[in-house]
Amino acid sequence: MSDSHEDDALIMRLRDLALVDIDALLAGADGEAYAELLVIHAEDLEDALRTARTRAAELTRTITGVDPLVLLDSGFAVRARDGGRDAADRTARRLAARAAACRALARLDDLAAGLYPRLVEADRRRASLP
């Protein structure tokens, strides 16, 4: 699966979890059923956020990697070597990859920002279980 498809799947998972209202999830449950639902939901949130953190680290490495415009520091003769087309294409691809990584990272961070407080709420409830 390509990074784009994996990112889309992760984004969908995070969005799906954002739709879960913990009070609605736990409504009517008590005792063992309450505890089990709560633990499963909290572990799902934690796993999704850990996956998002791992992917965000990968994206950050892409963003902070080699400067795509490094050839600006070279003279015009270096940039135009062999017609310059290969260097121009390579630079354009690197810039496009960095832009895509920035967009993916922003999407992940936006969703994680909304989910992390939900994990803390689930953890708070878990901590109060007998």
DSSP label of 27 = T
Q: Which of 51, 71, 52, 61 lies closest to 101, judged by CA?
A: 61
Flag whether pLDDT at 1 surpasses 60: no
**What pLDDT score does 78 carry?**
84
The predicted-structure confidence for 67-121, as pLDDT tens digits, reads as follows 989 888 888 888 888 788 888 898 999 999 999 999 999 999 999 999 999 999 9
Residues near 21 by Cβ (< 8 Å), separated by ≥ 6?
A: none
**What pLDDT score does 13 carry?**
97
The residue segments making up the domain with residue 93 are 3-127
| Cα–Cα dist 128/56, whole Å | 32
The predicted-structure confidence for 36-71, as pLDDT tens digits, reads as follows 999 999 999 999 999 999 999 999 999 999 898 988
Confidence at 2, pLDDT banded by 50, 70, 90: low
Top-confidence residue, 29 or 76: 29
The radius of gyration of the chain from alpha carbons, rounded to an integer in Å, stands at 22
**What pLDDT score does 41 carry?**
97
Q: Is 83 exposed, middle or buried (0-12, 13-18, 19+ CB in 10 A)?
A: exposed
Q: What does the DSSP assignment read for 60-93?
A: HHHHHSS-TTGGGGS-HHHHTGGGSHHHHHHHHH
User: What's the predicted TM-score (pTM) here?
Assistant: 0.86
**What pLDDT score does 84 carry?**
80
Residues near 11 by Cβ (< 8 Å), separated by ≥ 6?
A: 107, 108, 111
Top-confidence residue, 47 or 3: 47
**Number of compact structural domains in the chain:** 1
